[in-house]
Structure 1
């Protein structure tokens, strides 16, 4: 009986240091730029005469712009390449932010926010596609987890820089920080080296161009199985951003206390992305995907039973930890299952499914909170997390991809 094939050795000549600045630097700057403006958008909308519901609607236009631009983002990446798409996304985001600053009309301000969302889709797909090609498979989860973690660090730092700029220059100051951040990301992204196009195997012609329709047909089973798990996972992740402040308000905690709880949960979120990525590379994606959803589900189910700061903090930290270990998980699963030819199209559909989940989670929470109660709505999101854990446990391969 022949021995089973040994796992391939990790490439000895690869170093994260070689891609740190061109790959991770733009993500930090892009996250910083967008993080600086996000808390200020509803305030600017109100200053321009919008009502509170209108201000909330304008904030959702960022997510809507990303959702509707995932498929066009794949076309842009296929046409211009990853480096061109990263640069274009930074420039387009800067134009959208400038429109927000220099207009006095609420409709144009809303258009600028929609443009920022569009740039998110292009940038996120291009950076994921680039890292999938540039990093050896043995390091893929670590690289993509770090990519997601660095973006979160930028989103965490951005509001503090934006607040300092607002204190000095008023609300437009935050957009100045945002524009500087995304333009710096575009400038650094322009230095990303082009990836070599692999030649076709000997004796074979170059593959024909892949369409979105053929991609959906060829990979429909992956989208309908593992893609469903990713949609559920995204719904839980997006809901966590709403759950903590809403339940803190329900407990009648001071806004500063609610912000502290949210910030501490975000802090633990940023501390665990690299160890989780290493675990995925060594043991398999399932070892992180399932615990991530189970821990978040338990935190969600526990939250309606919290009665004060201490118990709320414990539940929030559990949710933050579960979310943190899943950093880069969606990108890693998409990279694992994407084909070499037509990868941008596959990832465009993959990110579309994730964005559908991100939009559906808070909507479900809102509906159940209105129809039943906030506690029942949060508990339902916890059950969605368990459903996601079940789907991911069933459909993620047990072994590390080779």
Structure 2
């Protein structure tokens, strides 16, 4: 039986087969995120409903977390990424043809579901084909592709919008990127043939990779696993859920705020693109700080920064020159988010059982995504009931509360340089 570790490893093959499709997919998503509220407004949405529509992206990711493990375990990582690209195109066409905000929300929801499948498939792909001695660097690089896509995508969106005069034209960038990602995956040689199968032949007559086994384990007994690990998930997991909520609310609040102060969609895309550059530039710095000084030194400062940034955004409604305040706070929020890059994945890895990590990591990701899905809905609801500045302020208070939770529980569960997991019995 051959394994990925026994086969000579070539970074270029992994980059083309896994990182290039990821870059393409994330560029498309980065182009779409800033303009969703504008497109929603064009089909008759109020500011609160536009926030709801934007939130469907992360709600879709949460919904997609549930079946994605079983889907990938059944059809394989490469096929799942191709299928997710096709599903995303279907959602994007639904959004492009939407006559009202509710059909648009459905299209964005489908894009979110496709994103969840693609995200887990590429993680499993790297788990399968990258030798363990390279895995941390490979996954760090994979994480960096997200931020690179969110950096490039808004600038491409701004250029297309400037040329066409339509905010919805940014959706075509995501369509093109999804199709390009699928073509790359189809045209390139199957990595399983390049590196060899990594497990015994499955009963269905095909090779099952380590990544497929991992996502299969994650899909099995998700809610049972959450119950088994409820102590850590209700303590440190609560803090991580707040981190995810603040990150998701930032992606919804900034485009909504831009609409509320009358910024053109091209200007919005450029500002969010520059903020993405700030975020991207700090990706490796955050990881270095965690390795050098411990998890606490990025988790707490990042959450304090996100909380203060949301509170400051709320007060800009009462200040002159709202555009310049908006730009400054967008950069500050990106700085705070960039410093905390990788913190959720790292804490999850610290806490997971090294012998059988998948069940806990599946539960950890699901609870974090629940926070990410709830935040945009909170923004939408508070905007409808009170105002957008009130929603920003409420999320800011949540961020500062999250910093306290992390300060209390990170030292308890995660050691200075590695894991100090609580004694627990994993589900059978």
Q: TM-score range by the shorter chain?
A: 0.7 to 0.9
Q: Which residue of 2 aligns with 1:360?
A: 374
2:174 maps to which of 164, 178, 184: 178
In 2: Cα distance, 1:298 partner to 1:383 partner: 8
Give 1:64's match in structure 2, choosing from 54, 59, 72. 59
Aligned to 1:196: 198
Shift of 1:322: 1.0
TM-score (norm 1): 0.76
- Deviation (angstroms), 1:56: 5.2
Cross-structure match for 1:378: 392
Aligned to 2:285: 275
Match of 1:401 in 2: 418
2:153–2:273 CA contact under 8 A, matched in 1: no
Residues 374, 38 of structure 1: alpha-carbon distance in 2 compared, 3 angstrom cutoff: closer
Q: Does 1:328 align with 2:350?
A: no
Kept after mapping to 1: 8 A contact 2:31/2:157: yes
8 Å Cα contact 2:51-2:377 kept in structure 1: no
Distance 1:260 1:92 in 2: 28
- TM-score with structure 2 setting the length: 0.72
Question: Which residue pairs with 1:120 in the alignment?
Answer: 115
Conserved 8 A contact 2:31-2:171: yes
Question: Which deviates more, 363-372 or 374-383?
Answer: 363-372
Q: How does 1:46-195 map to 2 (within 5 A)?
A: 50-52=44-46, 57-101=52-96, 110-131=105-126, 143-165=138-160, 167-168=163-164, 173-189=169-185, 191=188, 193-194=191-192
Q: What is the alpha-carbon root mean square deviation over aligned residues?
A: 4.1
1:172 & 1:197 partners in 2: Cα distance?
45
Unaligned runs of 5+ in 2: 1-7, 202-212, 420-428
> Does 2:222 align with 1:212?
yes
**Partner residue, 2:330:** 316
**How far does the alpha carbon of each residue in 1:231-276 deviate from its partner, in whole angstroms, 9 at most, with x for none?**
11011112223444666778x6855877665444332112111222
**Does structure 1 conserve the Cα–Cα contact (< 8 Å) formed by 2:154 and 2:272?**
no
**Cα distance 1:38–1:337, how it changes in 2: closer, same or farther (>3 A)?**
same
Kept after mapping to 2: 8 A contact 1:71/1:348: no
Equivalent residues of 1:145, 1:327 under 8 A apart: no
SS of corresponding position for 1:69: helix
User: What does residue 240 of structure 1 align with?
Assistant: 250
Q: Is the 8 A contact 1:75 1:344 kept in 2?
A: no
Provide the C-alpha distance between the structure 1 equivalents of 2:345 and 2:314, rounded to a whole number of angstroms. 31
Q: Which residue of 2 aligns with 1:290?
A: 300
- What is the alpha-carbon distance in structure 2 between the residues aligned to residue 373 and residue 401 of structure 1? 43
Structure 2 CA distance, aligned partners of 1:137 and 1:276? Answer: 22
